[in-house]
């Protein structure tokens, strides 16, 4: 179940509790802590006569969700009894909705700070499920008691109040990353959980000879932004296998895009993008350019002399809709990695004669061609 926590953001319609610590500011900012600081900021009662109760209501932050069915809410408070009177102090949660104040069950304590919550599954005014508009208009609060005996007293203290709103998680979103460690009989499948929908997800992969897949890996629990991997085996060298990532939460299963690996070969995104088909290079002093084709796609790589070494400067599309980053992903290397291997031989200042620059570039270019041939270029 997904949830969102909403904290006090302003005073509500009641501010009755006698005291606050520190004395400056307002009551609501003494109980809005993300991490409780207990006696460092708090509200508390100290009113005579004995057996007196006082209530605060706090305006709550608006929700950032605003969609989906709300299954329940909980109002939390962290409070304690302080003082020498031998009896427990009573505490209550409060809420205000539709201009009506409601009181939760009574709690009583003798000791130090503890958490209690009041769970409300339906709006007590309407009798129906909470709406996001009602949540945004909600006020939540507390009632604290004060007891005084002969020469002794006990007071209720509160250091934290918040509302937790529960709702079904959204469908997870995930990315199928390229396979690594591709061998003739085994490979590692990789994915990224882009969004868990508000709930931890069981993440894994489907794979097989077609987009019907047929095989499913083990899963691992992940949250938004985390990556996951699973090894598969039993592959046949030279055979293409489809795979995609998936992530399952309480709402359902979200899938990444289909990708293809060829057992024993580099990984390519589709069957039509399978080989580096053409390559040429252009040189002029201070700028080296490699132009390559991958299947029916094309890209340019510009390597510019900037300081004392050649850097990747610009990269652009040759075929509309085909991004240079996607091409590098197919090759399994980053832009920096693409030129890094050549830098060891080309770290020459710009003032070097053009002829010497070209010799250095030719060495670098040959090295890149060797790399591309290893990746499947047949030129």
300-324 tens-digit pLDDT: 444 433 322 222 333 333 333 334 4
SS3 for 127? Answer: coil
Please tell me the pTM assigned to this model: 0.56
Residues of the chain with CATH 2.60.40.10: 173-268
Residues of the chain with CATH 2.60.120: 2-167
Contact 54, 45 (CB under 8 A): yes
Q: Please, what is the end-to-end C-alpha distance for the chain in angstroms?
A: 55
Could you tell me how far CA 359 lies from the centroid of its own chain?
A: 48
Predicted confidence at residue 368, as pLDDT, reads: 63
CA–CA distance, 354 with 347 (Å, rounded to integer)? 14
The percent of residues above 70 in pLDDT, for the chain, comes to 67
CA–CA distance, 367 with 360 (Å, rounded to integer)? 11
Contact 234, 152 (CB under 8 A): no
2-167 to CATH, choices 2.60.120, 3.40.50, 2.30.29, 3.90.660:
2.60.120
Could you tell me how far CA 111 lies from the centroid of its own chain?
A: 38
> What confidence tens digit (pLDDT) does each residue in 109-134 have?
888 999 999 999 999 999 999 999 99
> Does residue 346 register a pLDDT over 60?
no
Stretch 73-81: mean pLDDT, rounded?
Answer: 96
173-268 to CATH, choices 2.40.50.100, 2.102.10.10, 2.60.40.10, 3.40.190.80:
2.60.40.10
CA–CA distance, 318 with 170 (Å, rounded to integer)? 38
> What confidence tens digit (pLDDT) does each residue in 38-47 have?
999 999 988 7
> Does residue 79 register a pLDDT over 80?
yes
CA–CA distance, 268 with 300 (Å, rounded to integer)? 19
Contact 165, 73 (CB under 8 A): yes
Ordered DSSP codes for 291-345: EEEETTEEEEEEEEE-SSSEEE----BSSTT--HHHHHHHHT--HHHHHHHHHHH
CA–CA distance, 357 with 363 (Å, rounded to integer)? 10
> What confidence tens digit (pLDDT) does each residue in 274-294 have?
333 344 444 444 444 454 444
Predicted confidence at residue 148, as pLDDT, reads: 76
How many other CB atoms sit within 10 Å of the CB of residue 86? 10
| Sign, Cα dihedral of 264, 266, 268, 272 | negative
Pair of tokens at residue 379: 């030129």
pLDDT range class, residue 141, cuts 50, 70, 90: very high
Contact 29, 10 (CB under 8 A): no
Most confident of 12-16, 43-47, 339-343: 12-16
- Extended beta strands in 124-252, E state: 139-148, 153-167, 173-180, 186-195, 201-208, 215-216, 220-222, 227-233, 240-248
Contact 166, 1 (CB under 8 A): yes
Give 172 or 238, the one with higher predicted confidence: 172
Stretch 44-69: mean pLDDT, rounded?
Answer: 86
Stretch 229-246: mean pLDDT, rounded?
Answer: 92
């Amino acid at each position: 179940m997904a949830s969102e926590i909403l904290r006090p953001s302003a005073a509500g319609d009641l501010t009755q509790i006698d005291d606050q610590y520190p004395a400056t500011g307002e009551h609501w900012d003494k109980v809005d802590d993300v991490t409780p600081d207990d006696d460092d900021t708090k509200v508390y009662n100290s009113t005579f006569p004995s057996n007196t109760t006082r209530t605060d209501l706090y305006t709550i932050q608006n929700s950032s969700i605003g969609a989906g069915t709300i299954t329940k809410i909980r109002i939390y408070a962290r409070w304690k009894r302080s003082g020498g009177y031998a009896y427990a102090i009573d505490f209550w949660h409060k809420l205000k909705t539709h201009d009506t104040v409601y009181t939760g069950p009574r709690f009583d304590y003798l000791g130090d700070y503890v958490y209690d919550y009041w769970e409300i599954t339906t709006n007590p005014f309407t009798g129906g499920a909470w709406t996001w508009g009602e949540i945004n208009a909600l006020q939540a609060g507390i009632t604290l008691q004060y007891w005084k005996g002969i020469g002794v007293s006990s007071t209720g203290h509160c250091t934290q109040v918040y509302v937790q709103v529960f709702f079904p998680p959204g469908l997870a979103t995930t990315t199928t990353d390229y396979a690594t460690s591709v061998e003739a009989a085994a490979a590692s499948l990789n994915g990224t959980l882009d969004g868990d929908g508000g709930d931890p997800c069981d993440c894994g992969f489907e794979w097989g000879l077609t987009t019907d897949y047929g095989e499913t890996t083990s899963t691992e629990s992940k949250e938004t932004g985390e990556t996951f991997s699973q090894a598969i085996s039993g592959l046949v060298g030279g055979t293409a296998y489809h795979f995609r990532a998936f992530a399952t939460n309480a709402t359902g299963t979200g899938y990444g895009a289909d990708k293809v690996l060829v057992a024993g070969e580099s990984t390519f995104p589709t069957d039509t993008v399978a080989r580096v088909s053409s390559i040429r290079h252009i040189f002029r002093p201070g700028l080296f350019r490699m132009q390559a084709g991958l299947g029916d796609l094309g890209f340019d790589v510009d390597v510019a002399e900037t300081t004392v070494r050649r850097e990747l400067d610009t990269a652009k599309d040759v075929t509309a809709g085909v991004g240079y980053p996607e091409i590098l992903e197919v090759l399994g290397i980053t832009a920096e990695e693409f030129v890094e291997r050549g830098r060891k031989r080309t770290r020459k200042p710009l003032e070097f004669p053009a002829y010497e620059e070209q010799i250095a570039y030719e060495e670098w270019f040959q090295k890149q061609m060797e790399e591309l041939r290893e990746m499947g270029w047949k030129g």
